[in-house]
């Protein structure tokens, strides 16, 4: 029997999905925001200059249309009727005048507010800029009357007037965003709603697509810019790429292209990955100082077209060669496939892309970054790639590769060996995993079939890892497992999160390992001498 609550929730969620299908953000928004360049101290003149530079540098014609406010523009007290105010020192001409100026240039205007008592700042929460909590209807009407086309809605002071940043609030954060969503819709003005909840409470699975046009999947990308920040965010998007689509996008945060802290190759990788993952492309650098090389990255029309592809499908994680390279891929509207290969190493080197990692044995390829045709690729493609650089290929005329078959071994099966604290945990009536592997705990899967000849086997691993973090760590938003075959040297596997709760499986993490013997006497041992591994459900061994 279906409960009345279940019916109510189904109807409610259905209403949300329909309500937000208002024709906006059918492709990821593109524009400019000052935060990574100027923090919370952007002046009216800097907004004017940025808007003019979007035009003079040829960016607006490529799709960068939104000029968005960020923190620091707001007043600290409401007017006598409870209305939103602005800082008259920072914005002396007023927000309506700034909006008119930007619209007069043919661009779109975005405002910033916060779903809390006060807004975010860069001075430890002491600024106490106005937030919109409790004033959603009034503020939405103000934003609409000023001509806002976009609202970035932050998440500071969401719990109380004394709790600046709370990554684990004692309530469902979604409620603050649905309230503002409804208030924006009631204005009748088309306003793109950018949810900036820092990835708190797994918004992609609310689903946030019923609440906003984009949702942040992680904590801030910076400042300062760093390769470690990119690694943290890339790992966090792994389990949720399927939630992106026309009208609702995973937001990997604003672009650091043009800012110090990233090499030119890292800026290219950053831009290509964000574009292919269908993240909004919001430039966040000082456009009066941007280098020609960084500007050329931002203006690459083939990569922009990848981001704006009408199919709206994000690339998804396909294969990680730990400490070597990643392979991601996704479909495009013309029937082709984009493949993205990231060089994790700190040196320029040859990187070989195996086409079977994206399901093909041959394809006609072009390099989307350079535009160069590569002809027909068979089996693999090798290129010289800069440290932390990227390969981005458009594959068409593809021939499918045969897919490996696997024999699966449940981690919790009775014949396996759990030692040093490793133990089983029931996830559901049909799934039991082995956890507390690492820090002395080990899982050994026994009696594994190495086939008639043994040798090297492809392993397909199903696991759970909800160990997500909001700051950079040794393996940000991933866990390390060290896998040994028949007592041989262990091989490291960096395994990204499967989701933000310990009941979401990631299936099909692939790693190739040697050392198998013929017959059914093989063992697979998993350990980590200085940390925890994921919880393991099963391991498949290629036949």
154 has catalytic annotation:
yes
202 has catalytic annotation:
no
Say if residue 457 is exposed, middle or buried (CB neighbours under 10 Å; 0-12, 13-18, 19+).
buried
Residue 29's CB is within 10 A of a number of other CB atoms, namely 25
Tokens of 441: 């705990």
- The answer to whether 233 and 221 have CB atoms below 8 angstroms apart is yes
- Whether omega for the bond prior to residue 207 falls within 30 degrees of 0, making it cis, is yes
Instruction: Report the distance separating Cα 157 and Cα 331, nearest Å.
Output: 40
- The answer to whether 217 and 237 have CB atoms below 8 angstroms apart is yes
Nearest partner of 223 among 36, 38, 69, judged by Cα = 36
Q: How many helices (H) and strands (E) does the chain have?
A: 10, 27
Q: What is the DSSP string of 408-447?
A: EEETT-TTSEEETT-EEEESSSS-EEEE--BTTBEEEEEE
Q: Which of 154, 202, 462, 535 is catalytic?
A: 154
Category of 159 on φ-ψ map: left (φ > 0), alpha (ψ -120 to 50) or beta: alpha
Q: Which of 163, 220, 386, 449 is catalytic?
A: 220
Residue 80 CB partners (closer than 8 Å, separation 6+): none
- The answer to whether 131 and 116 have CB atoms below 8 angstroms apart is yes
- The answer to whether 50 and 56 have CB atoms below 8 angstroms apart is no
- Supply the residues annotated as catalytic: 154, 220
């Amino acid at each position: 029997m279906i409960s009345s609550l279940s019916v109510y929730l189904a109807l409610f969620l259905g209403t949300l999905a329909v309500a937000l299908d208002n024709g906006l953000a059918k492709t990821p928004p593109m524009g400019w925001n000052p935060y990574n360049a100027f923090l919370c101290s952007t002046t009216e003149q800097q907004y004017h200059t940025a808007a003019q530079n979007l035009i003079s540098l040829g960016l607006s014609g490529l799709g960068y249309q939104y000029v968005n406010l960020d923190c620091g523009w707001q007043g600290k007290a409401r007017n006598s009727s409870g209305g939103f105010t602005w800082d008259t020192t920072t914005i002396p001409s007023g927000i309506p005048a700034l909006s008119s100026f930007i619209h007069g240039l043919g661009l779109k205007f975005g405002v910033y507010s916060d779903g809390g008592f006060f807004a975010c700042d860069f001075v430890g929460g002491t600024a106490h800029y106005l937030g919109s909590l409790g004033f959603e209807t009034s503020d939405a009407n103000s934003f609409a009357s000023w001509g806002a086309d976009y609202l970035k809605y932050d998440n500071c002071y969401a719990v109380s007037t004394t709790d600046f940043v709370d990554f684990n609030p004692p309530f469902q954060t979604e409620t603050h965003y649905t309230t503002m969503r409804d208030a924006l819709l009631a204005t009748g003005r088309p306003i793109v709603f950018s949810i900036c909840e820092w990835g708190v409470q797994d918004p992609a699975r609310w689903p946030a697509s019923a609440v906003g046009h984009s949702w942040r999947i992680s904590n801030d990308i910076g400042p300062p810019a760093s390769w470690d920040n990119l690694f943290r965010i890339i790992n966090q998007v792994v389990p949720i790429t399927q939630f992106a689509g026309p009208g609702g996008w995973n937001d990997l945060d604003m672009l650091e292209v043009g800012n110090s802290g990233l090499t030119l190759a890292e800026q290219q990788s950053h831009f290509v990955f964000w574009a292919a993952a269908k993240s909004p492309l919001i430039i966040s650098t000082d456009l009066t100082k941007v280098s020609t090389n960084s500007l050329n990255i931002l203006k690459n029309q083939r990569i922009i077209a990848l981001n704006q592809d009408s199919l709206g499908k994000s690339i998804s994680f396909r294969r990680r060669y730990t400490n070597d390279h990643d392979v991601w891929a996704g479909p495009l509207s013309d029937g082709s496939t984009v493949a993205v290969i990231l060089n994790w190493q700190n040196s320029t080197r040859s990187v070989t892309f195996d086409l079977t990692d994206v399901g093909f044995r041959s394809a006609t390829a072009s390099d989307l970054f350079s535009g160069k045709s590569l002809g027909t690729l068979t089996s693999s493609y090798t290129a010289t790639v800069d440290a932390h650089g990227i390969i981005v290929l458009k594959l068409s005329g593809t021939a499918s590769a045969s897919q490996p078959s696997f024999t699966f071994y449940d981690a919790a099966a009775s014949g396996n060996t759990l030692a040093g604290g490793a133990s089983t945990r029931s996830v559901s009536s049909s799934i039991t995993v082995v956890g507390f592997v690492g820090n002395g705990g080990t899982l050994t899967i026994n009696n594994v079939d190495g086939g008639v000849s043994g040798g090297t086997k492809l392993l397909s691993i199903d696991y759970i890892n909800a160990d997500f973090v909001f700051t950079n760590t040794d393996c940000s938003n991933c866990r390390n497992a060290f896998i040994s075959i028949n007592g041989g040297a262990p091989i490291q596997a960096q395994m990204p999160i499967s989701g933000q709760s310990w009941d979401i499986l990631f299936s099909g993490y692939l790693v190739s390992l040697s050392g198998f013997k013929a017959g059914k006497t093989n063992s697979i041992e998993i350990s980590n001498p200085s940390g925890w591994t994921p919880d393991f459900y099963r391991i498949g061994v290629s036949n």
